[in-house]
């Protein structure tokens, strides 16, 4: 057990997958939310295809800082969607995207939803007034030529743009095409009827976890051919984990750049992550020095996680299993109450472990599993995240 590494020689079950226990750890629905909301034209079957798409639009784009007082608004009478902007030294008017229109309205202090309901000339007059009286005096535009010049983003002058293709390139350096040519790939699927996770599932538009729209990019990959054994289940079988990470970015300012790494036990058909442990996240706002922070912090962190040994994680789980903190009912209740759990919550946590393990909790790991199982029952997201955070803190303090 002390010599377990990422390439732990665990043999798959006869069905071609790995038997996992998804009742443990946390459930993470972030990838599932992306999967559910992405239309077909935002789904990609490889990192190469994804990179090519976002790279081309970046090559057709340019960013510049302009004086807001020098921007002229032109609007057709029949539709606010036909509103155009004439930028300084531009050869022709630019059409703002839906997103850019909202950014522009926000910058000048006008409600975009209200402006969209007005006749185009009236909306144009309001925008023109706001631009002429904009206190910051400057904005940064992001224009893309694709048959016509389109305004994709309007931000403050100090906006630090990290292009979507830069994030994809950072992932490609460790994951190749993301289709199995390296250890990092689009995930397989859990069979709920057998509890077997199959890593070898055809990558299709319904199973892919590589996404990009006109305003963002999102990627999720796993190392699911190399299971990690971190202890044993009550029946004596190995408790198996896989490594995974997801990352996201928006070069037009719709969201921060972020990378989340973790260990998980399975991914189901609708892309929920099950049995998540040791969740870590890095986020970078698109401020003035965002590009250098990405180069020096986020991208190297992703590479370190991809190339690191799982020994630290395995040892942490082992230590948590071995650290006995309660042997009596009084000890168990006292342990939880001292950590801020109510009497009712403490009873439910103990009950969860008793139901799953056929014995009351004794170790740190037992209590962490009971807390995360109770967190799943929370319908209010903030309450669920708070309880999951308390479980993580408890595990992090294992010495």
pLDDT at 93 over 60: yes
C-alpha 5/C-alpha 70 separation (Å) is: 61
pLDDT at 2 over 50: no
Q: What DSSP state is assigned to residue 266?
A: E
pLDDT digits (tens, 9 = 90+) for 146-163: 767 889 999 988 899 999
C-alpha 274/C-alpha 241 separation (Å) is: 10
Q: Which residue has the higher pLDDT, 7 or 38?
A: 38
List residues bridging with 198 in a β-sheet: 189
Predicted confidence band of residue 14 (pLDDT cuts 50, 70, 90): very low
* Residue 348 DSSP SS3: helix
Query: How would you classify the pairing of strands 95-96 and 149-155?
Result: parallel
**Mean pLDDT, residues 219-246 taken together:** 90
pLDDT digits (tens, 9 = 90+) for 177-223: 999 999 999 999 999 999 999 999 999 999 999 999 999 999 999 99
Contact between 71 and 108 under an 8 Å Cβ cutoff? The reply is no
Please tell me which of 138-142, 215-219, 319-323 the model is most confident about, judged by mean pLDDT: 215-219
CB under 8 A, 24+ apart: contacts of 348-353: 348/374, 349/373, 349/374
pLDDT digits (tens, 9 = 90+) for 332-343: 889 988 888 888
Crossing angle of helices 98-107 and 120-132, rounded to 10°: 50
pLDDT digits (tens, 9 = 90+) for 54-84: 999 999 999 999 988 888 988 876 655 578 8
pLDDT of residue 300: 86
Mean pLDDT (the chain, rounded): 86
pLDDT of residue 375: 85
Question: Within 10 A of 55 (CB to CB), how many other CB atoms are there?
Answer: 16
């Amino acid at each position: 057990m002390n010599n377990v590494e990422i390439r732990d020689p665990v043999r798959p079950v006869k069905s071609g997958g790995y038997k996992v226990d998804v009742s443990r750890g946390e459930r993470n629905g972030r990838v599932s939310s992306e999967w559910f909301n992405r239309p077909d034209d935002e789904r990609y079957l490889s990192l190469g295809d994804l990179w090519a798409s976002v790279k081309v639009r970046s090559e057709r784009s340019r960013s510049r800082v302009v004086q807001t007082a020098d921007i002229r608004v032109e609007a057709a009478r029949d539709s606010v969607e036909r509103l155009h902007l004439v930028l300084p030294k531009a050869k022709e008017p630019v059409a703002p995207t839906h997103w850019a229109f909202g950014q522009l309205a926000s910058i000048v202090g006008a409600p975009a939803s209200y402006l969209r309901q007005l006749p185009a000339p009236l909306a144009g007059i309001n925008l023109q007034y706001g631009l002429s009286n904009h206190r910051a005096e400057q904005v940064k535009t992001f224009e893309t030529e694709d048959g016509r010049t389109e305004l994709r983003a309007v931000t403050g002058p100090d906006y630090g743009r990290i292009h979507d293709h830069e994030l994809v390139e950072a992932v490609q350096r460790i994951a190749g095409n993301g289709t199995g040519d390296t250890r990092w790939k689009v995930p397989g699927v859990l069979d709920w009827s057998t509890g077997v996770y199959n890593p070898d599932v055809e990558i299709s538009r319904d199973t892919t976890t590589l996404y990009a729209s006109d305003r963002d990019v999102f990627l999720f990959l796993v190392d699911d051919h190399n299971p990690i054994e971190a202890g044993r289940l009550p029946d004596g079988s190995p408790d198996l984990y896989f490594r995974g990470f997801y990352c996201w970015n928006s070069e037009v300012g719709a969201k921060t750049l972020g990378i989340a790494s973790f260990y998980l036990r399975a991914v189901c058909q609708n892309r929920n992550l099950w049995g998540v442990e040791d969740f870590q996240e890095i986020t970078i706002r698109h401020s003035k020095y965002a590009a250098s922070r990405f180069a020096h912090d986020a991208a190297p962190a992703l590479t370190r996680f991809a190339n690191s040994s799982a020994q630290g994680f395995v040892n942490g789980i082992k230590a948590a299993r071995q650290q006995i903190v309660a042997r009596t009912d009084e000890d168990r209740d006292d342990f939880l109450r001292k950590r801020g759990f109510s009497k009712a919550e403490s009873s439910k946590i103990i009950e969860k472990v008793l139901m799953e393990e056929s014995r009351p909790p004794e170790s740190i790991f037992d209590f962490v599993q009971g807390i995360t199982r109770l967190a799943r029952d929370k319908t209010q997201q903030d309450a669920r995240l708070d309880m999951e955070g308390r479980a993580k803190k408890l595990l992090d303090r294992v010495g």
